[in-house]
């Protein structure tokens, strides 16, 4: 099943990678690899992860304090957020309406 990012989720992912690039050389590559690993796990078995809220599921990344929030659509998986786990909860709700 293909993966599509909500535009704001893709921005989040890119901004987090840029942040980690500024912290330590190579850290952004580790972050990207962790998120890509989570995406791969989601893609293999989309209903493996429990429903987090409404029909949004959550897959935690390893090492970094991030979660990939997604919905299972008829033809694709929609990544709603690449969320820092210490960020304000629910900030991504408006993305489900677009």
Query: Which of 7-11, 85-89, 94-98 comes out lowest in average pLDDT?
Result: 94-98
Say if CB 20 and CB 27 are below 8 A apart: yes
pLDDT (tens digit, 9 = 90+) per residue, 18-75?
A: 999 999 999 999 999 999 999 999 999 999 999 999 999 999 999 999 999 999 999 9
pLDDT band at 98 (very low <50, low <70, confident <90, very high): low
Cα distance between the two ends of the chain: 21
Q: Distance (Å, rounded) from C-alpha 17 to C-alpha 97?
A: 26
51-53, strands of its sheet edge to edge? 2-5, 76-84, 66-72, 56-60, 51-53
From CA 67, how far away is CA 14, in angstroms rounded?
14
pTM: 0.92
């Amino acid at each position: 099943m293909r993966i599509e990012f909500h535009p704001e989720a893709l921005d989040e992912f890119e901004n987090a990678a840029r942040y980690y690039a500024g912290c330590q050389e190579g850290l952004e590559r580790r972050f990207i690899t962790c998120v890509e690993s989570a995406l791969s796990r989601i893609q293999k078995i989309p209903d493996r992860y429990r429903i987090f809220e409404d029909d949004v599921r959550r897959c935690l990344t390893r090492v970094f304090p991030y979660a990939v929030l997604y919905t299972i659509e008829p033809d694709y998986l929609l990544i709603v957020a690449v969320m820092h786990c210490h960020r304000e909860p629910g900030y991504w709700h408006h993305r489900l309406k677009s």
